[in-house]
Amino acid sequence: SHDDVARYDRAFEAYFGGEAPHERLRAIAPPRTSSLRPSLADALPPDGAEDDAGVPVAVPDASAAEQLRHRDFAAMGDAERAMVDLLLDRLRLPGELRRTRRHRPGGTRDLDRRRILRSVLRQGGEPGRLHRRERRHRPRRVVLVVDVSGSMSAYATALLRFAHAASARGVTPTEVFTLGTRLTRVTTELAHRDPDTAMAAVSRAVPDWSGG
């Protein structure tokens, strides 16, 4: 890309310009960037946030949330699990877009030959505007399968809370299934905005919870 031209120039000069090997590597190496990995603290709403009903939301501070990153959920106490539930309930997932095969008018690169030809024919063969097109974008679909067998019972609730955040409040269309001794679709149950209502609906819909 155009952003890499300067880097390529530096690499060329470093290799052919007589610099020491370590200077060559320094020139070729891309600049350091901060990690983009999200943390639990990113799930926290801003100070003074309110829920959908306008009620102020009480959330743990960022330092307490970060400490939970290294904790095994199965080893957490009731207070820590409640904190994780709160963080997951407030989680907002941005989703990801994918390019489709379909096009729409616009963009700056690809010529829309059909529209150009139709325009020329309407004008009696006279050249006219150069119409362009671009690929449409749609949210990438996500399928989540949550293991609710006996060996995963300590984690299933938290994973389903995460699945609720993805399906009820995420941008990306999300299908959720549970897997114990059978596969059960729980997307409809998780569509409830209230997480407790959604979890209660899932518990009624899944016949093999902690089975297998």
- Taking the C-alpha atoms of residue 183 and residue 177, their distance in angstroms, rounded to an integer, is 6
- The mean-pLDDT minimum among 53-57, 87-91, 132-136, 158-162 falls in 53-57
Question: What SS3 class is residue 187?
Answer: coil
**In this predicted model, what pLDDT tens digit does every residue of 73-132 receive, in sequence order?**
677 777 777 777 777 777 766 667 777 888 888 877 788 778 878 887 888 877 777 888
Most confident of 58-62, 107-111, 144-148: 144-148
pLDDT of residue 2: 59
Question: What SS3 class is residue 129?
Answer: coil
Asked if pLDDT for residue 145 goes beyond 90, the answer is: yes
Position 154 confidence tier, pLDDT thresholds 50, 70, 90 = confident
C-alpha torsion 62→65→70→74, nearest 10 = 170
Token pair 């880097």 in the structure block, residue: 7
Position 67 confidence tier, pLDDT thresholds 50, 70, 90 = low
Rounded to two decimals, the pTM is: 0.53
Question: Cβ contacts of residue 89 below 8 Å, gap of 6+?
Answer: 161, 164, 165, 195
Position 28 confidence tier, pLDDT thresholds 50, 70, 90 = very low
Asked if pLDDT for residue 38 goes beyond 50, the answer is: no
Return the percentage of the chain with pLDDT > 70, whole number.
60
pLDDT of residue 25: 47
- Taking the C-alpha atoms of residue 165 and residue 169, their distance in angstroms, rounded to an integer, is 5
Domain regions of the chain by residue span: 1-33, 40-89, 97-139, 142-205
**Closest listed residue to residue 110, CA positions, set 136, 135, 138:** 135
Residue 42 Cα distances to 92, 105, 166, angstroms: 9, 37, 15
| 148, burial (CB in 10 Å: exposed 0-12, middle 13-18, buried 19+) | buried
90-119 core/surface letters (b: 16 or more CB in 10 A; e: else): bbebeeeeeeeeebeeeeeeeebeeebeeb
